[in-house]
Structure 1
């Protein structure tokens, strides 16, 4: 018990000594400030630069083409010719529907055509004969008119019979179901022996073209309007490159292929409040599948004359606003001045600032917790490192 009491007394003594040391340090710092002590600070002079405008967007992938294969005639499926999940080419046969009833209909239509042609031959002979006799009054005018009418009716019957043959040939051809597009075919919804109808709602199979593939993204209305305003003012130069979009999978993996912007919608999606943007992406290995969640960095273009402030120089205040300290010349001294700034984005390790500071302002980048507005400082210029020259 006695030992424990000594330990407690020793701990209390250490706490008192630390408190006294901290108080002494604080008093010393306050005394240095009152005596005009100028803390050394690094600063960077703000310059205007042209920077790429990168929009980080999210969206989902969708096939460039989607074809739902449906029967155009009714019948029983006799055979399926494709492997589910494989790539099929346009014109490949996918299914065979029982053709027997359509073969019979075609034979019947051809027989009707032959009968109509035979009737036409007979009426044509009668009409030709009566055409000569009517001129000599050997027959009545009524007999001639009847022969002409019968001949024209026979011609019409031949045309109708030919149309019936054509229709029967088309229906027979429809018993062979072909791929309408080239793409990857999904699972078959019907099997051999199943009855299909030409009015059924469900498809027999679905084919999707996955190379290239679309990624539909959403951009906020505010960002979209700001880009249009900056472009109208000449502060923005749009990017017309075919590889202006970097894509990332849901797990953060960056895709090798880059995409190009196809178009932007002219209306706002009421459900999301976003403007839809479509990107076309090469997809030779089918890394992207329809419905996948995709992140994208869209290089919209170059924004001119942008003010960049190092991120380490920015302090966030309790009210949510951002501020920086700059160096102001006050007679023969350099003192701290506070500026509230508006940030519109990021570029590398800098913030893009739209208001609050001006070009050539000297922004303090170090000792931010030891200084305040009006405090004297000793400035040390911290020039940004130049970009690496690939030719060296």
Structure 2
């Protein structure tokens, strides 16, 4: 019994090793025969391409400029007697801004009135004297006396006209002591205080008046874009008149200005240093939201063109600036397409070549997949912000 137990004890490790080798071989055989699970294709959101007429937009930088600007300066000399406006407030055309001490101008006006009255008194006497010599010119009065009477009357009339002009000048100077707003606008900080002496037509402005409603937006565009636009309109590819297009603004904080503007004028010259030209747009600004000097970005719809839209979030550009995007081929594998010509259309790029109706554009998840990789396309839509939104699934079993 002892010998049998010893033999069994010695054979046990050999049997265990044989079982282990048999299990390893089965495992290896299963892997070789493809029994291990494979990674499923990655799901990607796609948009089905369809050609249609789309708006062509241009995004241009610009600055706000006051519709009217006037530097207020005195036209007569004197001491500031009163400042009749609140700095930074709105004033109406004709409102008094400054009152200059007017006592000397009032005295000059009164003196001019007296001089006119004195000159006017001499006219009746000179006229009566001329009439008398006219009756006596052939019966005792000489021709010389008649001519002298005529000259006296003409001189008296001239003195009256001169006195009237002096009175008008004195009245103007007296009125100019009241410095008025030339138009509706907003004032700036006053450069003088009560008691300061100001002089006629001095170089330093007392304040600046700006009209902010409406307001100008000065936009800058390259001459290259101008030539492209003209060529597209001449060829008939672009429909619509850019001069009548609505212009929309995005303010410095990223918010959209609620009102649309219109093109006011275009500079018919290109800058020799920057190669750009200026476009001026006009916007209503009833709440003074836009202030002179503000930086804005304007979106102008210059026309419409037939093509395909590629969301900006679904595309990249290579070192040469060419647009590229990824599509799902007929075999559900990824392929990259490059487009040499593309135009801006809102939050999208518009292309006219290299795409056909029904092509599937990858709009989400394309950053982590390479060409030739198998994918599982999931149809989606793109919202106004350019984000992919998966289409809701429809249960065909339900009516």
Counterpart in 2 of 1:265?
267
Counterpart in 2 of 1:93?
96
Structure 1, residues 209-266: CA drift from partner, whole Å, max 9, x if none? Answer: 1122111111221222222222222222336798822222222222233322222222
Q: TM-score, with normalisation over the residues of structure 2?
A: 0.73
1:364 Cα deviation from its structure 2 partner: 6.5
Cα distance 1:288–1:49, how it changes in 2: closer, same or farther (>3 A)? same
Give the distance between the partners of 1:313 and 1:250, measured in 2 at CA.
Answer: 26
Counterpart in 1 of 2:350?
352
Give the distance between the partners of 2:319 and 2:124, measured in 1 at CA.
Answer: 102
Give the distance between the partners of 2:189 and 2:313, measured in 1 at CA.
Answer: 55
Counterpart in 1 of 2:305?
304
Taking the TM superposition and a 5 Å limit, the aligned residue runs for 1:45-64 are 46-64=49-67
Q: Which moved more, 1:250-259 or 1:91-100?
A: 250-259
Report if aligned partners of 1:239, 1:299 keep a CA contact under 8 Å in 2: no
Query: How many residues of Structure 1 are paired with residues of Structure 2 in the alignment?
Result: 343
Q: Which moved more, 1:269-278 or 1:305-314?
A: 305-314
Report if aligned partners of 1:259, 1:282 keep a CA contact under 8 Å in 2: yes
1:304 Cα deviation from its structure 2 partner: 2.2
Taking the TM superposition and a 5 Å limit, the aligned residue runs for 1:141-290 are 141-238=143-240, 244-290=246-292
Report if aligned partners of 1:73, 1:197 keep a CA contact under 8 Å in 2: yes
Mapped pair 1:120 → 2:123 = yes
Give the distance between the partners of 1:81 and 1:313, measured in 2 at CA.
Answer: 60
Structure 1, residues 68-124: CA drift from partner, whole Å, max 9, x if none? Answer: 222121111111111101111111111111111111211221222122223323222
1:64 Cα deviation from its structure 2 partner: 0.8
Report if aligned partners of 1:61, 1:288 keep a CA contact under 8 Å in 2: yes
Report if aligned partners of 2:46, 2:378 keep a CA contact under 8 Å in 1: yes
Counterpart in 1 of 2:5?
none
Cα distance 1:95–1:119, how it changes in 2: closer, same or farther (>3 A)? same
Counterpart secondary structure, 1:268: coil
Cα distance 1:253–1:346, how it changes in 2: closer, same or farther (>3 A)? same
Give the distance between the partners of 2:336 and 2:256, measured in 1 at CA.
Answer: 40
1:58 Cα deviation from its structure 2 partner: 1.0
Give the distance between the partners of 1:312 and 1:200, measured in 2 at CA.
Answer: 57
1:51 Cα deviation from its structure 2 partner: 1.0
Structure 1, residues 164-215: CA drift from partner, whole Å, max 9, x if none? Answer: 1111111111111111111111111111111111121122111111122111
Give the distance between the partners of 2:132 and 2:346, measured in 1 at CA.
Answer: 98
Cα distance 1:328–1:189, how it changes in 2: closer, same or farther (>3 A)? closer
Give the distance between the partners of 2:358 and 2:189, measured in 1 at CA.
Answer: 65
Give the distance between the partners of 1:349 and 1:129, measured in 2 at CA.
Answer: 95
1:327 Cα deviation from its structure 2 partner: 8.8
Give the distance between the partners of 2:254 and 2:45, measured in 1 at CA.
Answer: 36
Cα distance 1:349–1:157, how it changes in 2: closer, same or farther (>3 A)? closer
Structure 1, residues 141-184: CA drift from partner, whole Å, max 9, x if none? Answer: 11111111111111111111111111111111111111111111
Q: Which moved more, 1:205-214 or 1:237-246?
A: 237-246
Counterpart secondary structure, 2:268: strand
Give the distance between the partners of 1:313 and 1:247, measured in 2 at CA.
Answer: 24
Report if aligned partners of 1:77, 1:192 keep a CA contact under 8 Å in 2: yes
Cα distance 1:318–1:280, how it changes in 2: closer, same or farther (>3 A)? closer
5+ unaligned residues in a row in structure 2: which ranges?
A: 1-30, 35-41, 385-399
1:133 Cα deviation from its structure 2 partner: 0.6
Taking the TM superposition and a 5 Å limit, the aligned residue runs for 1:308-387 are 308-309=309-310, 321-322=322-323, 340-347=338-345, 350-355=348-353, 357=354, 359-360=356-357, 362=359, 365=362, 369-371=370-372, 385=381
1:50 Cα deviation from its structure 2 partner: 1.0
Cα distance 1:310–1:78, how it changes in 2: closer, same or farther (>3 A)? closer
Larger radius of gyration: 2
1:40 Cα deviation from its structure 2 partner: 11
